[in-house]
Amino acid sequence: MPIPNRSALVDHLVRTRIAGDVATPRDNNLSHYRRLANGDRHYWLGLELGDRWSDEQDVLAVMAERCGVNDDPRYRHGQDTIDPELTVDALDRMAARLKQAAAGRESVLFATGHPGGLLDVHRQIADALRSTGCEIVTIPSGLTADEGMVFQFAGVAVLERGATLWHTHSPEPMAAILDGLERDGRTRPDLVVADHGWAGCAGQRGVDAVGFADSNDPALFIGEAEGTVRVTVPLDDHVTDPRFYDPMTAYLLDAAGLL
């Protein structure tokens, strides 16, 4: 497909609602920010935030700065936003890290808690890095987490339950992978490309992690602000057609020198 320049990609992100006026409503965003601030670990996505983010307004400030949501705390209901310029800025930062991985032929682990939307994004990046000589980490067999099985499809780790790929925010599947690698005497990956708790858990354990996050998943943005997560790309992580992510992925791979 044609590789979009920055301006064309911004237009595409807004048109497909990957960024711009996204589907996630304001009250849902604020509810998640509040729950993170109140210490609900489900919303910490595998990170250890302690009591550093106990003020909901501090969380909102980070999300306005790094994701582009409305920064007015009085705005409680209606449409919320992701700034497409921030999305492309973060894609450029991710591309720089992918370029480094390719140059060093690093070992890279891919995982997604949003297989319905982002599985093929991860798969395309994995294929591109594999072609440069990177090792795409094969996870140990027989791993379980959260009453499901941790499998790999096209080089991307996912959680499976009842013959269904599962949407999960949990850090437990990534913890199972990292623990399994250690049990097998294998080294940790040099880089993790993931989302949700898969990215948060990896970053918390000291693995270089880059990931994608929606406007109602503040933890990974806080992780980047604190330096625990290397890069967090703001986007709607489940738009109406997963093919909408293809131009974004092409831009990312081109910026990384992988096309």
Residue 100's Cβ-side half-sphere holds a number of Cα atoms within 13 Å equal to: 11
- The CATH number of whichever domain residue 7 belongs to comes to 3.40.50.10490
pTM higher than 0.95, yes or no?
Answer: yes
When divided into structural domains, the chain yields a total of 1
Q: What is the DSSP letter of 244?
A: G
**Tens of pLDDT, residues 200-259:** 999 999 999 999 999 999 999 999 999 999 999 999 999 999 999 999 999 999 999 999
46 close to 206: Cβ distance less than 8 angstroms = no
φ/ψ region of 88 (left if φ > 0, alpha if ψ in -120 to 50, else beta) reads alpha
> Which residues partner with 152 through β-bridges?
157
**Tens of pLDDT, residues 15-62:** 999 999 999 999 999 999 999 999 999 999 999 999 999 999 999 999
**Tens of pLDDT, residues 83-122:** 999 999 999 999 999 999 999 999 999 999 999 999 999 9
What residues make up the domain containing 140? 1-258
- The answer on pLDDT for 5 being more than 80 is yes
